[in-house]
Every structure is written in structure tokens, then in C-alpha cells.
Amino acid sequence: PVDWILKAHITVMILAYVVCFPVGAILGLVKHRLHVPVQAVGTGLTALGYILGHSHGGRRFEESAHSANAWIMLYALMAQVGLGVVLKVYRDPSSKLRSGFRIAHSLLGLAHPVLAYIQIVFGAITWNSFCADDHKGNCLAHFIMGSSFAWYGVFCLWAASQLGRAWLGARGELSGRYKSLEYYEGWLIACWGLVNSLTEHTWGGQWFHNDIQHTAMGVLWLLGGLASILLTHHRPSLRSPLPAIVILLTGVAMAAHAQHSMIGTMVHGFFGKAIGLAAVFRLIEVIVDGGGRAQGQTRTLMALKLLSSLFLILGGFLFSSSQEEALAYVDHSILDAPSYMLMTTCLAFLVYGYAQGLI
């Protein structure tokens, strides 16, 4: 059984890391006077949640990634609070040391949503007793790849915002050469492709069809990302279609990615269609933009960017939810595949709206 203390722990931590710290980080970026009070409330809730997490009765949990990551989050919070106090006391604006502290404080604040997301995923895994023993590899593959797509969607959503466009413009002013969004996407795709190319197969062991599929997909991302980097590096203002084409080809491949169960095949197919739609919307946006530097300034371009981001986030959650133990649980429950996918879609909309609200 799960007692009220554990439920209170979950509620308090969600309030701290999903509400207070992200909102506080945004308030800090705009230098709002409520930045410190909101962060202080989040810190207090974290302390309360920590106590509750070590005080509950009922169901007991073994040591897990959730508990290990909790210490990382706690140390990060202590460092951020300490830096915040130093910045309040040490106010010399010309000091390079203070500038370094300020950058570190800001980065830690922006890292909290990522750490919170990881902790929530670990918490769900621990709650359901997933990802143990032989399931660990499947778990890592689905949650890492799915989360990457979801965060890629959030990144695109941010890039379409006023803050994101200002950042892209500022980078151009600093370097003297404006670079389109696809230049940075090329780096993201290439780096992720390199990781996938090297980790999807146990080198020296026997090859299986899944290994070949996933490794080939990693190579596709690596080469497609590099091609986009080269294309946009030599033509800085050009809107490159290559990132969208890489995503589209990935979607086509995943839609045809046969699984051991019918529900697995259906969810993977829905995932492939979702990221395929995201790619189609991005391609239309690039064509409509015509290689210019509007970067989301017209209503049509903005609508296309928002749709592309939505389907990337949806694809990410669909892929994460297609982990084999989760599918086995659904297969033996009253849910069917469409119901499960609709519930996952609701979660994606919730995250999309949340990210939109913050940005």
C-alpha cells in the first residue's frame, strides 16, 4: 500500500520542480522582483519533500536511479542557492568572478526542468518496478530516444519564441554571421546520430536486424546532421530542409518497424506518423520562408513551427510509452491500443501547453 506521506512527497516535489523552479528561472531571466521569493518557496518545498520521502511507511523501494538522481538534484539546488546568496552579497558589476558566478547560477536554474523531467521518469519507473534485469536495455533505448524527441520539440518551440529568435540574432551579431536554426539543429542531430551509431550494437557481438536498423538510423542522423551543418555554414541565411528530411525518413522507417506484439506495432506506427507529420510541417515552413530570415515572424510560419513542435513532443512521448514492460501492462489491462495512445497524446498536449506557458 501507498500511504499519504508518499503521496504528499510526490505532490510537494511536483510543486517545487514543475511549478516553482521553472517559473522562478523565467522570472530570473527577465529580472523580476519575484524571482527570489519564488525560488525560496521552491527550496522550502524541496526540503519538505525530502523529509517526506524518507518518512513514509507502506510500500518500500529498493535503491534506484530515482534515489540516486535525487542527490544530484539536491547538490545542484544547494549550489544554486549558495551562488544566489553570493550574488546578492557580492555586487561588484565589473568583477569577472561575479560574472562567472552569475552564469553558473543561471545555468543551474535552467537545468532544473531537465533534472526534474529525468527524476519524474525515474520515479514512474520505480513506482511500476520497470527496467530491471533484461529489460534495462529496452528501457534505456526507449526513454532516452523518446525523451530526445520530446526535448527536441521543446527546443524548436523555444526557437520559435521571441526569446529564441532574439538568441539566434544575438549569436549572429557576436559572430558577425547570422546562422539559421537548422545550423544548430544539424549539430544536435549529428551528435545524437554519433551516439546512436556507437551504442545501438554490442561491438564484437552478433548482429541482429534490430541492431542494423537502429545503427543505420544513427548513421543517417550523423550524416544528415553533418550535411545540414555544412550546407548552412557556407550559406548562413539559408533555411536547410535536411533536418526535416532526416526526421521524415526516421518516421517512415519507424512506422514500418515491426514489433513482437500488435499493440507495440501500432504504437511504433503512430510514433512514426507523428514525427513524420512534424517533418512535413517543417518542410512546408522552410519552403514558405523561402530561405529568408523571417524565422517565425509571420503568422503562417509561426503556425507551422508550433505544429512541428507539437508532433515532435507527441512522437517523443509515444516512443517512450512503447517500452516493452509498459506495453505488456497495457496488453493485460482493460486498455486497448487507441486508448493508450490517446492517453499518451493527452500527456503530450499537457507538456506542450506547459512549455508554451513558460516560454
pLDDT digits (tens, 9 = 90+) for 80-103: 889 888 888 887 777 788 888 888
The pLDDT, as a whole number, for residue 180 is: 77
Residues 179 and 171: their CA atoms lie apart, in Å, by: 8
The pLDDT, as a whole number, for residue 110 is: 80
DSSP character at residue 265: H
Tell me the one-letter amino acid at 78: M
CA–CA distance from 254 to each of 189, 250, 284, 308, 341 (Å)?
Answer: 17, 6, 22, 18, 16
CA–CA distance from 226 to each of 34, 150, 221, 331 (Å)?
Answer: 43, 22, 8, 41
Residues 278 and 268: their CA atoms lie apart, in Å, by: 15
The pLDDT, as a whole number, for residue 174 is: 52
Q: Check pLDDT > 90 for residue 261.
A: no
The pLDDT, as a whole number, for residue 172 is: 58
The pLDDT, as a whole number, for residue 58 is: 63
Confidence of residue 59 (pLDDT cuts 50, 70, 90): low
Helix (H, G, I), strand (E, B) or coil at 224: helix
Instruction: Give the position of cell 509571420.
Output: 298
Residues 91 and 77: their CA atoms lie apart, in Å, by: 21
Residues 124 and 130: their CA atoms lie apart, in Å, by: 8
Determine the average pLDDT of the residues in 127-139: 80
Better pLDDT: 354 or 200:
354
The pLDDT, as a whole number, for residue 296 is: 45
The pLDDT, as a whole number, for residue 295 is: 47
Which grid coordinates are listed for 24?
522562478
Could you report how far apart the first and last alpha carbons of the chain are, in Å? 39
Q: Can you give the C-alpha Rg of the chain in angstroms?
A: 22
Percentage of the chain lying above the pLDDT 90 cut: 26
Confidence of residue 170 (pLDDT cuts 50, 70, 90): low
CA–CA distance from 357 to each of 65, 132, 161, 291, 351 (Å)?
Answer: 29, 36, 11, 29, 10
Instruction: Give the position of cell 510509452.
Output: 321
Length of the chain: 359
Q: How many helices (H) and strands (E) does the chain have?
A: 14, 0
